[in-house]
Structure 1
Amino acid sequence: MDPLKYIFEKPYMSSRIARWQVLLAEYDIIYMTRKSVKGSKIADHLANNAIEDYEPLNFDFLDEDVLVMEKEEKSGWWAMYFDSAVNVSGNGAGAVIISPEGKQYPISVKLHFSCTNNTAEYEACIHGLEAASKMKVGKLEVYGDSMLTICQVKGEWQTRDEKLRPYQEYLSKLAESFDEIEFAHLGRDKNQFANALATLASMAIIDCGAKIQPVSIKIRNSPSHCCLIEEETDNDPWYTDIKRFIQHQEYPSGASKIDKRTFRRMAMKYYIDGEILYKRSFDGTLLRCLGDLEANKALQEVHGGICATHANRHMMARQLQRADVIGPINPKASNGHRFILVAIDYFTKWVEACSYAHLTQKVVKRPKMNGAVEAANKNIKKIVQKMVITYKDWHDWLSYALHAYRIAVRTSTGATPYSLVYGMEAVVPLEVEIPSLRVLMESGLEETEWVKIRYEQLNMISERRLAAICHHQLYQRRVAKAYE
């Protein structure tokens, strides 16, 4: 609150403030509330009162060609993160030691004695350093979210609390057992693993002398039931009885009249071509019946191979257009590349992408209204992130990600970019290992017949593209209608 407004408008005041009001009253002061000043008035005032020896500001940015500053990677250094937890359930200390290769060694200790937050932080750091010393670590970087502990160990702050001095002395003695050691402070959001270990130790009920095996954390990218396949006990596929009934009209042994009637009704949904059994879907498509080994191979290819993005194509419905750049990507790839140049055909949605170590502004001309391209870049990054094994091999998987994007049906056109460019659908490697119906049909054709069919497909490509244009226009109308 403004003090002058308080003095002149408050009816009842204390003795000192009342004295100030009396002293100011002889000057006939009237309080007026300040009004907002428009920017144009300030600009007019500055223009009318220009300074003669005015020097314009220099807005040039030094080293404008530098996009990012990278920190040198220290080779042979280990890292340790520590944290503590003090709550109603108990006290705990947690630390995680990370090797130069990225292997993590978690440490969790339950403290069966009363301690404060600061002493618990020292306990966590000391237990982590003791474990690192036993592992014969030479160079160690220590990270913690306690500013007090880090600054006191580094000597930047004095240790006045008598309870913390023994901890600091012992911690300094432990630090001397390493060849090189550095302490650094970081935020809580970057220290969540150590915090989870400390919280786990504080809340767990552990008897004295009990030893708990190391906790193993697995990463799954799909639900547990998605790869559920019943085991085949008799080494025959699940559709053997259906196939035998269609071929020889033989029922399974021990089938009752009700089972036979159900079996006949079920067999009407299947179709056999030679020795291969197919099931008719609701739209008339023939789906090949697979055994245990074939189904496992198909699931691995669909959920983890080059077709992994098909299962998530609804998340990638936002389309790309024209050209844009992804980067700089940190850390850079093993070949030194940090940028991905993405280009796309506006109509067919065909994507091309290449990685580069350096890019200049002259190479990429960004058109106006480029928000869709930025959204598409996020999709490309999501695809690559699902495929990479290590953080430096993303450039090796870029071509596989592009292939998966090209053979996926686009929502706006209702067709795959591959079919709009080449006039036919791409053949997935799985279709060669487990022949699909179209592969089996084309394998029996002679070369002249296959060339004739291919020529007809190319002649029909204009019709396919025209149908895609109509589908795209209808899609735009539906979207516009939904948002109006």
Structure 2
Amino acid sequence: MVLTITPEDWRHDTVQYLKNPNGSYSQQIRRRYYVIRDEVLFRISSDDLLMKCLGKKEQLVAMTEVHEGICGAHQAGIKMRWLLRRHGYYWPTILKDCIEYAKGCKDCQRHGPIQHVPAGPMNPIVKAWPFKGWAMDVIGQIYPKSSKGHKYILVATDFFTKWVEAVPLKQVTQVEVIEFIEKNIIHRFGLPESIMTD
């Protein structure tokens, strides 16, 4: 919360400037793009999205969750920074902190030379009934292409039954994917609760 930011916090000067822009502040603080919403400081990104600004404790929690949390895969620092920004978090030293965190991970040091992620508990995606959750992916580009010119395969798998729906495609376009979802999933099995893609 903005109200509990201490003077040692990197957000302090920015919050003070936003609350009282008439004070004497450095040009660097005046040029930054920040806004306060519901007593929380956000940074406006280059694509006009709001990213929540985190303090020291929140930064450590976010890095821990992204690196080794329930969906963490012990990625390197650059990938961690990308994930944190994609989830809408920001602080000025995010790249440096992510690289240091990844280098300090004991599991990463132990299993670094090995080309696989260290063993950890599996977190299966459980759906309560058939055809309510699907996973979709595209296979291809396939060489050589089929006799009819198909180079890709669009595949959808039901989480509950493991039922597979697949269709060959010459090109993967938005129209063909929507048509596949309508014909092969919605019209045959009803409206799904979720469709997961990478």
TM over 0.5: no
Higher gyration radius (CA):
1
Which structure shows the bigger proportion of residues in strand conformation? 2
TM value normalised by structure 1? 0.17
Higher relative contact order (CA 8 A, sep 6+): 2
